[in-house]
Every structure is written in C-alpha cells, then in structure tokens.
C-alpha cells in the first residue's frame, strides 16, 4: 500500500497582520490532488496540526476541511498525532467517535501504545504523540529513573513496541520528535531552544519506516527515518529555497519518494533600490515579501505605498537618511514623537526628493502648520 507522510501544518499561524489561511487551504487542495494522482491508501500526519493550543474558529474550519477531504471525499484513513504546538486534548476530542470515519487522532502518549492496523492487519502504524520524559516516568513507573533523559525515555517506549512488532509484516512509527543533527530552519523556533531533548536516530532501529514531524525542512536522518517537512514555508532565508511536499512510502517494497507540491505564495527576500523593486512588481506581488529598499527610509509614506503594491508584504526595511543604516518600518509610537518638521524631512527622503529645505522654508512650513492647527481648534 502507499502511505502519504506529512507534518507541521501549523494551521492558524499568524504572519504580519494576517495569517496563512489562504495558503493552507491551497496545500489541502494539493494534498487531495497528490492522494488521487498517486493512489495513496492512507495519510500520516506527524504532529503540529495547529500552530497553537489556542485555536481560532477559522483554523478549526481549515482542519475540518482537510479531514473531510481526506477521509470522506478521498475515502482513505488518516492517522494524526499531536505535536508540541497542539493542545493534545482539544485535537483528540471525539477521537473514539471519529474512528468510525477512519480518522485516528492521538493526543497523548499511552501505555501500551496501540497500533492502527492497515491492509487487513499486515501493516501496523504506531502513533507516538509528542512527549517528554516525565510522561514516560508516569506511564512506565517500573522504569524508574528520576533523572531519565529524553533518549532513555524514547528507548523505553520504543522497546515496549518492539516486543509486539512480530505480529505484523510492516511496522511504521509515526512520531513528533527532535532527532539529533536535524537541519533546522528559522521557523523551527521551538526546536532551537529544545536541543537538550534531541534523541539519536538509532532509537528507531528495527522499524520499517519512521514518519517524523517537528522539523520543517524535508530530510532523511537515515535510510528509514525521515522528516517530511512542512508543506509550505513559514519563514524567510533558507526556507525560501526548500522544496516543499509530501513523502510517499510503498510498504511492500519500502521505496520512498518525495513529491513536491506547488506554493500559492512563495516566500521571497528582496534587497534592491526603489526603482528595481517596482520594475519587478508583477513577479513579487503574489509573494510573501521580506523587502529591503536600499535607497529610501522605511517611513509611513513608503510603507503605505509598498503595502498597497504588495499585499503579502511581511517585513519592510529601508535606509535611514541620517545614519545610512538599514532600519525597519517606523512604528506609530515613533511617528507620534516626531515633529512636523521631522515628518516633512522624512517625506522628502522617502519620495526620493533630493531637495534639502532651507531654514527659511522650514520656518514658513512651521508657520503654516501652526495656522492650520489654530483653524482646526476654532
């Protein structure tokens, strides 16, 4: 049978003043397309369905659409585990009821770990939601060890599974974990501070395939242990250049194949002059943008213009007229602290006007502003 391995959807993740809902609905449509084109028999979701335990109604709707598309429209089972970003109890609510639709959701680690049997009982998928060592101490009290490491905890759980793998022809582990030497992206924010909880890939020895989630870059940890990566980029920099998609596993032959998918709005970092950026507007206006304008400050005028031209602009920097350094957008608080004269100078710099107002012109401008304020108060 063909299993589709995916992970780290992060539904509901914010971006700037918006979120990725449009893009996430698009990768759900890509998921359905790949299922149908590749004749996938089941989907494995290796955690971080949501970006946060506090789930919005909009995010729940996106997840409902995905689950309905896979289990009802495509008519295949989907096995889901909670990641460290998920609320395990919320994600797994009504899990017993949902099994009737072949949607298998596992929020917390259990002892014993019960497999989901596929292909008439020939293939076993062992679900391991995200867990810490204290959860293993609580569920395997006979193991003891107040100073149990994450590697020791993982070994205890996996050894308990190995004792029962002989009943099946193929044994697949579905896990959300940080494996040593995994290559991280900027969006792997929790993994960067969780290095102490990394486990070696060798703890998974003996299984036919390990479908991992947690790290956003698709990568192999060894021939049978693999991260599918996130189905879309969630940061700029190195992740912009990563190919995103799903992993297909043939349980009969053991063959693995990465299937790239299209991105609705690619991430792009652009550092160029104002004129160069406008000349590439058509290409950039449908990208999530990290934009650096090298010849103008990132004040209110430039910010307003760029956000109107580029609806998916996420970050904007510009060159300070005073220091020559690249700085971010001016905040509303910073703008409120500026005098009318400073705002005029900023406006001239942003609009590419090389004119430097004389003292006489500035005095005239200030007098006009005072008269306008008096008229406004009357």
Same domain? 284 vs 161: no
Domain count for the chain = 2
Over range 153-176, report the average pLDDT. 97
Confidence of residue 188 (pLDDT cuts 50, 70, 90): confident
Please report, for residues 43, 161, 214, the alpha-carbon distance to residue 209 in angstroms, rounded to integers and kept in the order given: 14, 14, 16
Which residue among 202, 232, 260 closes a domain? 260
Same domain? 203 vs 111: yes
Confidence of residue 189 (pLDDT cuts 50, 70, 90): low
Same domain? 284 vs 242: no
Same domain? 219 vs 158: yes
Confidence of residue 361 (pLDDT cuts 50, 70, 90): confident
pLDDT at position 309: 96
Same domain? 362 vs 214: no
Q: Each residue of 138-153: pLDDT tens digit?
A: 999 988 767 899 999 9
Same domain? 54 vs 164: yes
**Alpha-carbon dihedral sign for residues 185, 189, 194, 198:** negative
pLDDT at position 329: 66
Which residue among 206, 225, 260 closes a domain? 260
**224 neighbors 209 (Cβ within 8 angstroms):** yes
In angstroms, rounded to a whole number, what is the distance separating the alpha carbons of residues 315 and 329?
Answer: 8
Same domain? 118 vs 239: yes
Residue 332, domain extent: 267-377
Q: Among the listed ranges 107-116, 144-153, 257-266, 363-372, which one has the minimum average pLDDT value?
A: 363-372
Evaluate if residue 332 carries a pLDDT over 70.
no
Beta bridge pairs of residue 268: 289
Please report, for residues 116, 118, 125, 311, the alpha-carbon distance to residue 104 in angstroms, rounded to integers and kept in the order given: 8, 12, 11, 38
In which residue are the tokens 């690619």 written?
266
pTM above 0.75, yes or no: yes
Same domain? 252 vs 347: no
Over range 5-16, report the average pLDDT. 95
Helix axes 340-350, 300-309, angle to 10 degrees: 40
Supply the Cα-derived Rg of the chain in whole angstroms: 26
Same domain? 242 vs 297: no
In angstroms, rounded to a whole number, what is the distance separating the alpha carbons of residues 10 and 83?
Answer: 10
Q: Each residue of 47-80: pLDDT tens digit?
A: 999 999 999 999 999 999 999 999 999 999 999 9
**39 neighbors 2 (Cβ within 8 angstroms):** yes
CATH assignment of the domain containing 183: 3.60.21.10
Same domain? 254 vs 271: no
Please report, for residues 160, 282, 308, 318, 343, the alpha-carbon distance to residue 273 in angstroms, rounded to integers and kept in the order given: 60, 16, 18, 10, 22
Beta bridge pairs of residue 175: 128, 212
Same domain? 203 vs 284: no
Same domain? 293 vs 370: yes
Which residue among 242, 260, 278 closes a domain? 260
Beta bridge pairs of residue 219: 227
Over range 237-243, report the average pLDDT. 94
Where do runs of H (alpha helix) occur along 210-297? 274-279, 281-284
């Amino acid at each position: 049978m063909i299993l589709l391995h995916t992970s780290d959807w992060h539904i509901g993740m914010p971006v700037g003043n918006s979120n990725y809902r449009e893009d996430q609905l698009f990768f759900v449509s890509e998921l359905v397309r790949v299922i149908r084109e590749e004749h996938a028999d089941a989907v494995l979701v290796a955690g971080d369905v949501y970006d946060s335990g506090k789930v919005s109604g909009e995010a729940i709707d996106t997840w409902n659409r995905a689950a309905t598309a896979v289990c009802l429209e495509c008519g295949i089972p989907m096995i889901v585990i909670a990641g460290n970003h998920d609320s395990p109890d919320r994600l797994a609510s009504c899990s017993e009821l949902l099994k009737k639709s072949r949607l298998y959701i596992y929020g917390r680690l259990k002892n014993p770990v019960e497999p989901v049997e596929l292909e008439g009982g020939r293939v076993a998928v062992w679900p391991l939601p995200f867990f810490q060592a204290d959860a293993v101490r609580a569920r395997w009290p006979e193991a003891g060890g107040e100073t149990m490491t994450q590697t020791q905890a993982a070994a205890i759980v996996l050894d308990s599974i190995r004792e029962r793998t002989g009943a099946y022809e193929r044994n697949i582990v579905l896990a959300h974990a940080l494996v040593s030497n995994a290559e991280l992206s900027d969006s792997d924010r929790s993994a960067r501070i969780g290095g102490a909880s990394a486990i070696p890939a060798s703890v998974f020895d003996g299984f036919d395939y390990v479908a991992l989630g947690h790290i956003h870059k698709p990568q192999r940890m060894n021939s049978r242990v693999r991260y599918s990566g996130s189905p879309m980029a969630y940061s700029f920099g190195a992740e912009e250049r990563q190919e995103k998609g799903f992993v297909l596993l043939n349980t009969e032959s053991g063959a693995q194949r990465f299937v790239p998918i299209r991105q609705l709005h690619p991430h792009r970092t652009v550092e160029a002059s104002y004129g160069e950026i406008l000349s590439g507007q058509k290409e950039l206006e449908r990208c999530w943008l990290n934009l650096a304008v090298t010849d103008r400050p990132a004040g209110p005028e430039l910010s307003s213009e760029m956000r109107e031209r580029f609806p998916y602009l996420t970050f904007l920097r510009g060159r300070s007229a005073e220091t020559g350094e690249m700085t971010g957008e001016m905040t509303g608080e910073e703008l409120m602290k500026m005098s009318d004269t400073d705002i005029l100078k900023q406006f001239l710099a942003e609009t590419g006007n090389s004119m430097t107002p004389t003292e006489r012109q500035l005095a005239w401008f200030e007098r006009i502003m005072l008269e306008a304020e008096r008229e406004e108060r009357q």
